[in-house]
Structure 1
């Protein structure tokens, strides 16, 4: 998709993934501002790709102990985070499936049917994602889902941005100004990123991002991070709703040097703000990731997976060691804290807290998430 302002977006049907997003800076220089890979093999290899650029679901974010209770019945989900929690729908979640796709006028529409019992979830879920690039540099992502049985649905999108360019690295990320329209956050302790159930105000804390500030003023340096739990931001914030309902302003990111600006709007109650602190720790725990990878047989496109693992061995750290970087597009090396992600969604682990917004989708209801990325240029810095 491309518009008259030279904003160009490329999506693929594997995981409904945005693989590139190019647009000019204030000097007219075009750069790709989202992380990604040059080949399909890297996208389908979970040892290399930690949910970069794809749809996150059936339930985005984490579920404590991979266990949910719906109508008195307990369901055990795939454990793929810290050996005990459930993350982004599991090892074969929405971001690791092949979606049906077609062009509908100026939109690209992708559809996926998640079968009853997939990754442990009850009910079959039919999901549709519509990507539409507008003339005013807005990318509208409309997400809809229906189910055959009561289940949890919380779908978002996981693009990782660096407005200086996907290969600009952590130094340029620290020069981004970030602001979130959030006055509360779902508290998580230092050792576990899953909310405890407590909701706290951000005022007077490192979580107060209501006024635009450079990331480097929050993350002092990469040896000693101010932000808990020691890996930079990977926290859920509570979006301040607008008075008339509908889509609310969620966040803004500015890279003053290039002038690129990203604004995000959504109708979801929360937003996960992530600064790439776990980017290179891509091996999934709990279920053996290699086993889960090789057992995938749902689509013809996965027949090359074993070959892909062999070809990509140079990009994967030896067992027991953490990767120093991920090999990305055009030879780029994606290191820790080289990009950020702002993912509007429901609160993490909402199914297990009655005072969190309800995440249960019932038969006859339609899940609706309208997500908007608005791209612009700031010619001068007025703040």
Structure 2
């Protein structure tokens, strides 16, 4: 299947799902029917060609599969009546399928997949399948698990939605902002998993990071006045721009200071910077805009030595006050050390350890010894640095990072 056809299926998937859910009111079965329609298209279109109206084709196949699924349940009379109505629509003269929907259901689907009844992992998996159009096998591969395991996770997520009474309608106004926050968090998690994979032998999974960017572009189009949606997209683009320089010819990790900045994607940097500039308002800047601002400082620096680390330290202090977390605090340690010296960075790290337990926090437990090792190495305490590098390597979840940390330890003896 060509990349153009694959992209078309990804784009049409949420619209087809929306049409089926509106008609039948069953998200769980409709989502399965859409997946089968997508699989049918992947089999038939390469040989027969893309139909003139691909969405109508997918809806027709999905409708037929929905009829089969509903019939097999032998449900209540109301459901039987729906089956009869659907069969009449499918078999009547000139009525091969209902008209394709004119409305864009993408945002409603994103909000439904990020229902508060689901945990973040289930929200992410369901979003990738229902809105992204990925198959269960593709999602399982991206997360380094089996298709059966991922299928179980998605199935349980759909059951939880049913038990919670989730409906295919936009949430009430008072619930909307919370649900949008969940959507951006899920997209952020998907991108981060793609940028530094927690499974597999490669540092990154471009299928996941690319899908996160595509879905965030969609969110940005649906919410053009949402500064944080723009900030999230800017952050992804500015971060993804550095990906070509993150690994060497042997798939070894290349740190930011050692990267060939000529390999950075300047088109992504220009787009991300323009997005951030248009959305920037210091009175309203949220976590994603602040993180994008940090990424923009890195992107603007022609060399590591000319990076404005003082500005980055200020941005992380701002971010810590707005949305305190262990990763943000640890990032501020790095920025302070680069701006004011490793000794000051170590002092700040010790203070934050005492007050917030960064060394024990699951979000920074692995990166903490790596940061400490680098600061100790900078001060000349090579023995302590080597030991800290080895501790970090033992905790690493990505083999590329583990090899890098062990190599640093070996160099120090």
TM-score band w.r.t. shorter chain:
under 0.3
Q: What TM-score do the two structures reach when normalised by structure 2?
A: 0.22
Q: What TM-score do the two structures reach when normalised by structure 1?
A: 0.23
Rg comparison, structure with higher value: 2
Higher helix share: 2
